[in-house]
Amino acid sequence: MSNYFNRELSWMEFNNRVLNEAKTESVPLLERLLFLGITSSNFDEFFMVRVATTIRAMRDNLKPTVAQISYFDVLNTINEKAHEMCQEQYRILNKDILPKLNKEGLQFVTEFDEAELQYLNTVYEREIFSVLTPLRIDTNKTIHNFVNLQMYLAVTLDKISTEEIEKEFAVIPMPASLSRLWELPSSQGADRKFVFLEDLVRLFSDRLFPGYKIVESSCFRLTKDADLAVDEDDDTNLLTAMEELIVQRGQSFPVRLEIDKKSEDIRERLKSFFQINSAGVYMVDGPVNLKGLMEICFISGYDHLHYDSRKPKFPRDLKRGENIFEELSKRDILMHHPYESFDPVLDLINQAVDDPNVLSIKMTLYRTSGSKSPVADALLRAARNGKQVTALVELKARFDEQQNIRWATQLEKVGATVIYGLSQLKVHCKFLMVTRRESTGVRRYVHLGTGNYNEKTATLYTDMGFMTSRDELTYEAALFFNSITGYSDLPQMDYIFMAPSTMKPKFLQLVNRETKIAENGGSGAIRAQFNSLSDPEMIEALYRASQAGVKIDLNIRGICMLKPGLEGLSDNITVVSVIGRYLEHSRIYWFSNGGKEEMYLASADWMSRNLNRRVELMFPVFEAKHKERVKHILDTMLSDNRKAHILQPDGTYVKRNRGKNSAQDLFYKEALEASKEDISEGLKVRRKLD
Amino acid sequence: MKKNNKLSAVIDLGSSGIRLLIAEKRATKWKALETLERKCTLGRDVFVSEEISEESFQQVVEILRLFREYIETWSISPSKIRCIATSAVREAHNRDMFIERVELQTSFAFQVLEAMEANLLTYRSVDHALRGHLRIKRSNALIVETSGGGTNVLMLNKGLMVGAHSLNLGSIRFEKELKSGLGTSDYLQKLLDQKTLVATRQFEMEFPLKRVKYFVALGSDIRRVAGQIGEKNKGYYLIQAEAFVEFLEKISGMESVEVASEYGVSFSESGAFFATLQIYGAFFKHCSATSLIVPKVSIREGVLQSSKRISTLASLEDEIAGACYSLAAKFGVDKKHSDNVAFNALKIFEELTKTGNFDKDHKIYLRSAAVLMDIGLFLHHRHSQRHGLYLIKNSEIFGLNELDRTIVGLIVRYHSKTRPKHTHSEFSSLGRSDRLTVFKLSAILRVARALDIRLVQRLKVDSVQRDANRLQLKTNIANISPLEVGSLQDASEIFQDVFGLKIEFAARS
On the question of pLDDT at B373 being above 70, the answer is yes
Per-residue buried b or exposed e for A576-598, using 16+ beta carbons within 10 Å of the residue's own CB: bbbbbbbbbbbbbbbbbbbeebe
Collect all residues from A whose CB is shorter than 8 A from any CB in B.
Answer: 359-360, 386, 388, 437, 440-442, 475, 478-479, 482, 486-494, 501-502, 505, 509
Q: Which of A441, A488, A490 sits opposite B264 (nearest CB)?
A: A490
Residue A471, C-beta contacts closer than 8 angstroms, at least 6 positions apart: none
Residues of B in contact with A505 (CB under 8 A): 228, 261-264
What are residue A196's DSSP bridge partners? Answer: A181
Distances from the Cα of A136 to the Cα of A164, A173, A245, angstroms? 20, 11, 28
Contact B160, B37 (CB under 8 A): no
Highest-confidence range of A163-177, A334-348, A538-552, by mean pLDDT? A538-552
**A663-666: long-range contacts at Cβ-Cβ below 8 A with a sequence spacing of 24 or more?**
A663/A578, A663/A580, A663/A636, A663/A637, A663/A639, A664/A462, A664/A578, A664/A580, A664/A581, A664/A582, A664/A640, A666/A636
pLDDT of residue A397: 54
Query: In this prediction, what percent of chain B has a pLDDT beyond 90?
Result: 39
pLDDT, one tens digit per residue, over B417-435 is 888 888 899 899 999 999 9
Q: Would you state the pLDDT for residue A233?
A: 36
Whether residue B19 is predicted with pLDDT greater than 90 in this model: the reply is: yes
pLDDT at A599 over 90: yes
* Average model confidence (pLDDT) across chain A: 87
Helix locations, A217-283, DSSP H = 238-248, 264-274
Higher pLDDT, A247 or A350: A350
- Please determine, for residue B100, whether its predicted confidence score (pLDDT) is greater than 80: yes
Active site residue A428: yes
Whether the predicted pLDDT of A234 surpasses 50: no
pLDDT at B507: 77
pLDDT at A423: 59
Query: Which of A480, A484, A487, A535 to substitute to test the interface with B, most B CBs within 10 Å?
Result: A487
**Nearest C-alpha neighbor of A360 from the set A264, A462, A442:** A442
Give the residue, A229 or A200, on which the prediction is more confident. Answer: A200
**Collapsed DSSP state (helix, strand, coil) of residue A442:** strand
- Residue of chain A minimizing CA distance to B30: A441
Of residues A360, A442, A487, nearest to B66 (C-beta): A487
- According to the model, what pLDDT value does residue A320 have? 81
pLDDT of A152 > 90? The answer is yes
Q: DSSP alpha helices (H): ranges in A173-315?
A: 197-203, 238-248, 264-274
Residue A425 is classified by DSSP as B
Residue A147 CA to residue A164 CA, distance in Å, equals 33
Instruction: Report whether A77 contacts A101 (CB < 8 A).
Output: no
Do the Cβ atoms of B24 and A441 come within 8 Å? Answer: yes
State the Cα angle at B191 between B190 and B193, rounded to 5°: 60
Q: How close is the nearest chain A Cα to the Cα of B99, in Å?
A: 22
Average pLDDT over residues B499-507: 89
- Tell me the average pLDDT across B82-87: 92
- For chain B, percent of residues with pLDDT exceeding 70: 93
Round to whole Å and give the CA distance between A225 and A255: 6
Q: Which one of A414-423, A538-547, B239-248, B348-357 scores highest in mean pLDDT?
A: A538-547
Catalytic residue, chosen from A83, A304, A306, A428, is A428
Q: Are A364 and A389 in contact (CB under 8 A)?
A: no
Residue B86 predicted with pLDDT over 80: yes
Give the confidence band of B309 by pLDDT, cuts at 50, 70, 90.
Answer: low
User: Residue A457 and residue A366: Cα distance in Å, rounded?
Assistant: 13
Instruction: Write down how long chain B is.
Output: 509
Q: What is residue A466's three-state secondary structure?
A: strand
Q: With bands split at pLDDT 50, 70 and 90, how would you rate the model's confidence at A23?
A: very high
The alpha carbon of A283 is separated from its chain's Cα centroid by a whole number of angstroms, namely 26
Question: By a Cβ cutoff of 8 Å, what residues of chain B touch chain A?
Answer: 1, 4, 6-7, 17, 20, 24, 26, 31-39, 66-67, 70, 73-75, 220, 223-224, 226-228, 232, 261-264
Residues A656-671 pLDDT 10s: 877 888 999 999 999 9
Q: Structural domains in chain B?
A: 7-112 (3.30.420.40), 115-301 (3.30.420.150), 313-505 (1.10.3210.10)
Question: Which of B37, B71, B270 is most worth mutating to test chain A (most A CB atoms within 10 A of its CB)?
Answer: B37
Q: Which domains does chain A have, with CATH numbers?
A: 1-104 (1.20.58.310), 107-276 (3.30.1840.10), 324-489 (3.30.870.10), 498-679 (3.30.870.10)
3-state secondary structure of A180: coil
B-chain CB neighbours of A491 within 8 Å are: 35, 37, 220
Average pLDDT estimate for A626-631: 96
Residues of A in contact with B27 (CB under 8 A): none
B232: nearest CB among A489, A494, A509: A494
Query: Given pLDDT bands bounded at 50, 70 and 90, which one contains residue A300?
Result: confident
Which residue of A lies nearest to B264 if distances are taken between CA atoms? A501
pLDDT digits (tens, 9 = 90+) for A410-419: 888 888 888 8
Exposure letters B205-228 (e unless 16+ CB within 10 A, then b): ebbebeebbbbbbbbbbbbbbbbb
More confident residue, A14 or A229: A14
Contact B35 A491 (CB under 8 A): yes
pLDDT above 60: residue A500:
yes
- Lowest-confidence region among A330-339, B1-10, B438-447: B1-10
CB A589 within 8 A of CB A528: yes
| pLDDT band of A579, cuts 50, 70, 90 | very high
Answer yes or no: do A494 and B24 touch at CB < 8 A. Answer: no
Please judge whether A494 and B227 are an interchain contact, meaning their C-beta atoms are less than 8 angstroms apart.
yes
Percent of chain A with pLDDT over 90: 60
Look at residue A518 in the predicted model and tell me its pLDDT.
97
Q: What residue of B is the nearest CA neighbor of A356? A: B1
Q: Report DSSP letters for B227-241, one per residue.
A: HHHSEEETTEEEEEH
Nearest CA in chain B to A439: B26
Provide, as residue numbers in chain A, all residues whose Cβ is less than 8 Å from the Cβ of B232: 494
Position A418 scores a pLDDT of 83
pLDDT digits (tens, 9 = 90+) for A345-404: 989 999 999 999 999 999 988 766 555 678 888 888 998 888 889 988 776 655 556 666
The whole-number pLDDT of residue A516 equals: 95
Residue A519 has pLDDT above 70, yes or no: yes
Among chain A residues, CA nearest to B260: A501
- State residue B8's pLDDT score: 93
Question: B366 to each of B277, B363, B383, B441, how far by Cα in Å?
Answer: 40, 5, 21, 6
**Closest approach of B66 to chain A, Cα-based (Å):** 7
- Condensed to tens digits (0 to 9), the pLDDT of residues B54-83 reads 999 999 999 999 999 899 888 898 899 999
A489–B220 CB contact, under 8 Å: no
Confidence band for A107, pLDDT divided at 50, 70 and 90: very high
**Alpha helices per DSSP H over A389-441:** 401-413
Is B39 in Cβ contact with A489 (below 8 Å)?
Answer: yes
Is A441 close to B1, i.e. CB distance below 8 A?
Answer: no
Taking the CA of residue A382 and the nearest CA in chain B, the distance in Å comes to 14
Q: Which residues in chain A have Cβ-Cβ distances shorter than 8 Å to B263?
A: 505
Q: Which of A129-138, A157-166, B320-329 has the lowest mean pLDDT?
A: A157-166
Please, what is the angle between helix A401-413 and helix A238-248, to 10°? 150
The pLDDT of residue A688: 34
Mapped onto helix, strand or coil, the DSSP state of residue B462 is strand
With a cut of 70, say whether residue A137 has pLDDT above it.
yes
The answer to whether the Cβ–Cβ distance between B4 and A437 falls below 8 Å is yes
Predicted confidence band of residue B184 (pLDDT cuts 50, 70, 90): low
Annotate B136-196 with DSSP letters as a single string: GGGS-EEEEEE-SS-EEEEEEETTEEEEEEEES--GGGGHHHHHTT---HHHHHHHHHHHH
Asked if B73 lies within 8 A of A492 by C-beta distance, the reply is no
Q: In whole angstroms, how far apart are CA A597 and each of A170, A525, A628?
A: 66, 10, 10
A336 CA: distance to closest CA in chain B (Å): 30
**Does the structure show a pLDDT above 50 at A686?**
no
Confidence at A682, pLDDT banded by 50, 70, 90:
very low
The shortest C-alpha distance from A386 to chain B (Å) reads 9
Angstroms from B267 CA to nearest CA on chain A:
12
DSSP secondary structure letter of residue A155:
E
Enumerate the residues of chain B whose CB falls inside 8 A of the CB of residue A494: 227, 232
**Rounded to whole angstroms, how far apart are CA atoms A337 and B305?**
46
The pLDDT score that the predictor gives to residue A294 is 87
**Under 8 Å between Cβ of A230 and A241:** yes
